């Protein structure tokens, strides 16, 4: 007879909560952010600590994204017993997106060293991320301002590869075409960055950290 895990240890379930309402959680991914793989994020997150990382070139945020597509995770099966069903483990998940915001960075001679003009700055941003992608780790900013880190169940940042390319799209019609150019990208995670255990980051008082309270972007 197959052994029940409860025979080996006490198992306690999270109970139901009585609630006559049936609410939904209305939120979505607004941005992605990137931090260096040798950098440990502060726990709990604070605006001051994140600002220090951004100022040091260790942290950056994308523009607001559109058409974010959370594709279904891919799974591999791990058989631990011929008498039991195989355990399914999330092996990867793709997050696809579009960045339609054009950024042309103006020259700034009021700082030292002076900043030269950089047209197509949004393309330079994504080119930089492509060049250093193996050194990056990831997180998500929700429309609500909540922050979710792309970690595994043990809290270790997931590794990923990045794709980003320019595309052109006719948002008008054949008779009156109107073309726009934007970045189309996707991140291929090794594991599931948005599994149920990846809750929004909390403050020390167990309320959600809200990045809208910071002045980071």
Could you give the CA distance from residue 67 to residue 29 in angstroms, rounded to a whole number? 10
Q: DSSP strand E in the chain: where?
A: 29-36, 59-61, 66-70, 74-78, 87-99, 136-142, 147-149, 160-170, 179-189
22-49 pLDDT, tens per residue? 888 899 999 999 999 999 999 999 999 9
Three-state secondary-structure class, residue 126: helix
- Of 208, 13, 148, 173, give the one whose Cα is nearest residue 5: 13
What is the percentage of the chain residues whose pLDDT exceeds 70? 98
CB 41 within 8 A of CB 47: no
Q: Could you read off the pLDDT of 137-147 as tens digits, one per residue?
A: 999 999 999 99
Please give the span between the terminal C-alpha atoms of the chain, in angstroms, as a whole number: 59
């Amino acid at each position: 007879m197959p052994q029940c895990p409860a025979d080996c240890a006490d198992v306690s379930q999270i109970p139901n909560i009585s609630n006559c309402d049936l609410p939904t959680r209305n939120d979505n991914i607004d941005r992605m952010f990137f931090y260096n793989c040798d950098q440990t994020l502060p726990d709990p997150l604070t605006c001051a600590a994140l600002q220090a990382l951004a100022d040091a070139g260790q942290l950056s945020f994308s523009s607001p994204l559109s058409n974010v597509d959370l594709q279904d995770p891919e799974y591999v099966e791990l058989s631990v017993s011929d008498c039991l069903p195989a355990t399914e483990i999330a092996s990867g998940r793709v997050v696809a997106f579009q960045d339609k915001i054009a950024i042309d960075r103006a020259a700034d001679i009021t700082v030292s060293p002076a900043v030269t003009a950089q047209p197509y700055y949004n393309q330079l941003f994504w080119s930089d991320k492509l060049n250093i992608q193996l050194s990056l780790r990831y997180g998500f900013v929700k429309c609500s301002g909540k922050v979710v880190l792309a970690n595994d169940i043990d809290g270790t940042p997931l590794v990923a590869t990045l794709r980003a390319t320019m595309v052109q799209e006719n948002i008008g019609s054949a008779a009156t075409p109107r073309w726009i150019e934007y970045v189309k990208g996707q991140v291929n995670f090794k594991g599931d960055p948005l599994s149920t255990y990846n809750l929004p980051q909390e403050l020390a008082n167990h309320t959600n950290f809200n990045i809208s309270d910071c002045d980071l972007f």
